[in-house]
Amino acid sequence: MPSVRALIVDDSGFFRRRIRALLEADPAIEVVGEAANGREAVELVRRLRPDVVTMDIEMPEMDGISAVREIMRRCPTPVLMFSSLTYDGAKPTFDALDAGAVDFLPKRFSDLSGDAEQAQRLLRERVKLVARRARRGPPPGSSAGNGPAGAAPSPRTGAAGPEPRRESQSAPMRGEGAAPAAAPPVRPQRPPEVAPGRVQLVVIGTSTGGPVALQRVLTALPATFPFPLLLIQHMPASFTTAFAQRLDQICQIRVREAQEGDLLRPGTALLAPGGVQLGLRRQGALTSVHLFEAGAGQFYKPSVDIAFEAAAEAFPGRVLGVVLTGMGSDGARGAATLKQGGSLIWAQDEASSVIYGMPGAVTKAGLSDSVLDLDAVGPALAAIRH
C-alpha cells in the first residue's frame, strides 16, 4: 500500500504525465492529483492533503512561488520545486525556497545523474524523504509559523526581508541516499561554551534545506565576526554564484563565491562553487582556497568531507565544523577527522532540520560536541571570542 501521497503541479500536461509515471513506478508512492496552475494547486492541497507537492515555477493564473506562499499560509505541506539549473533560474528558485519550499530538482533529469535509471531513482528517493517532513511537522520558524521561511531579519532594522547592506562584493545539489536512522538528540540546556583562541576557522556543511538554513545562520553574525568561514552547500555550479550574491546582500558579513587563491579573511564567508572540490593551501601565515576537480567516486561536488579534512590539516585543533540539514551522510567522515585532531563539531538538531540525514549521521557517530536548534546556531557562533 502506498505510503507517500504526491500532488503534481505543472502547466505542461506532458511533464505531468511523465512525472506521474516515474513516481508511480515506486509502489510506495501514489499520485493523488494533478494541477495545471498554482491556483488549482492551492485548492487541491487543501482538499487532498498530500504528503508532498512537486511544483513548477512558471505557470499561468498563479505562479509556483505565489502558490507556495499560499500553501504554506493555508495548509503547510512539503514542496519540491522543479527548476531550470541556470543562473537565470536561480533567483526564482531561491524565492520559492524563501516562500517555504523544501528543496528543488532539475526539470532536466540528466542533471540529477547521467544515468537515466539512477536519475529516476534519485527523484523518487527525494520525494519520499521530503514527505517524511510532513509526518514530523514543519521545522520551528518555517513558513508554517510566522511569515515566509527564510525571511531573515534585516541586519539594519530587524524587519523581515532582505535589506541590501552595500554593493555586492561577489564576483550540484545532487541526489543523495537515504538518511541513516538516528535517535533524536538531546538539546543542550545552554549555548555551547568555546574558550577564547579555540577556533580559527568555521566550516559549515549542508544540503537539502541548506539555502534557507544558511541564510538564518549567517544573518545572525555581526560585520565584526572575527573568523573566516567556508560554506559547503550541495548545489549545482550554475546556482552558487547567485546564492553567494544573495547572501552577501542580506548579511552583515561579506559572502563571496570562492575562487582559486582566495585568502581566508575574518568576517568573510567563501561559498564553495558547485561542481568542484574545495581544499586549502598554507602560505606562511596566510591560508588560501584551492579548487580542484572531483576524483573518481566522489559523488558530492563540493563535498563536506573533503572540506573538513582540508581544514583539519590546515588548522589542526582550531576548526569549528558545523553540520546542518541535508540528506545522506556527507560530513560524517570529515567530522571524525576534525575530532581526531582536537577540533569542535556542532550539529543541527532533528526538530529544526528539514532532513536529518547529515547532522543525524554526525550525532549518531558520537562526533557532536553540541546539538543545536537552527536558530541557536548563529547566536552561538556570534558569541565565540577570538
Same CATH topology for 4-136 and 201-382: the answer is yes
Contact 77, 38 (CB under 8 A): no
Note if 207 is an active site residue. Answer: yes
Q: What is the pLDDT of residue 184?
A: 46
What pLDDT was estimated at residue 26?
95
Q: What is the pLDDT of residue 136?
A: 57
| Cα dihedral sign, 138-143-149-153 | negative
Predicted confidence at residue 135, as pLDDT, reads: 56
Given the residues 84, 142, 170, 207, select the one marked as catalytic.
207
* CATH architecture label of 4-136: 3-Layer(aba) Sandwich (3.40)
Domains of the chain by residue range: 4-136, 201-382
Q: What is the structure's pLDDT at 137? A: 57
DSSP codes of every residue in 214-252: HHHHHTTS-TT--S-EEEEE---HHHHHHHHHHHHHH-S
Give the model's pLDDT for residue 158: 38
* pLDDT reported for residue 14: 93
What pLDDT is recorded for position 88?
Answer: 86
Rounded Cα–Cα distance for residues 205 and 94 (Å): 18
Identify whether 3 is a catalytic site residue: no
Query: Residue 29: CB partners within 8 Å, gap ≥ 6?
Result: 2, 4, 6, 23, 124, 127, 128
Q: Please report the pLDDT score of residue 284 as a whole number.
A: 86
Tens digits of pLDDT across the chain (386 residues): 678 999 999 999 999 999 999 999 999 999 999 999 999 999 999 999 999 999 999 999 999 999 999 999 999 999 999 998 788 889 999 999 999 999 998 887 766 666 778 888 889 998 998 887 655 555 555 544 333 333 333 443 333 333 333 333 333 333 333 333 444 444 444 679 899 999 999 999 999 999 999 999 999 999 999 999 999 999 999 999 999 999 999 999 999 999 999 999 999 999 999 999 999 999 889 999 999 999 888 889 999 999 999 999 999 999 999 999 999 999 999 999 999 999 999 999 999 999 999 999 999 999 999 999 999 999 999 999 98
pLDDT for the residue 169: 32
pLDDT of residue 299: 87
Peptide bond before 302: cis, by omega within 30 degrees of 0? yes
Judge residue 295's burial from the number of C-beta atoms within 10 Å of its C-beta, 0-12 exposed, 13-18 middle, 19 or more buried: exposed
Give residue 179's pLDDT. 38
Of 10, 56, 63, 330, catalytic: 330
Task: List, in sequence order, every residue forming a beta bridge with 9; answer none if it has no partner.
Answer: 35, 55
CA distance 215 to 253: 12
Catalytic residue, chosen from 51, 56, 63, 234, is: 234
Predicted TM-score (pTM) of this structure:
0.84
C-alpha 231 chain-centroid distance:
11
Determine phi and psi for 192, rounding to 5 degrees: -65, 140
**CA-wise closest residue to 287 among 308, 310, 305:** 310
Are 95 and 117 in contact by the 8 Å Cβ rule? The answer is no
The pLDDT value recorded for residue 341 is: 97
Report the CATH superfamily, name and number, of domain 201-382. Methylesterase CheB, C-terminal domain (3.40.50.180)
CB 291 within 8 Å of CB 260: yes
What is the helix (H) or strand (E) element at residue 345, kind and residue range? Answer: strand 344-348
Residue 149 to residue 151: CA distance in whole angstroms: 6
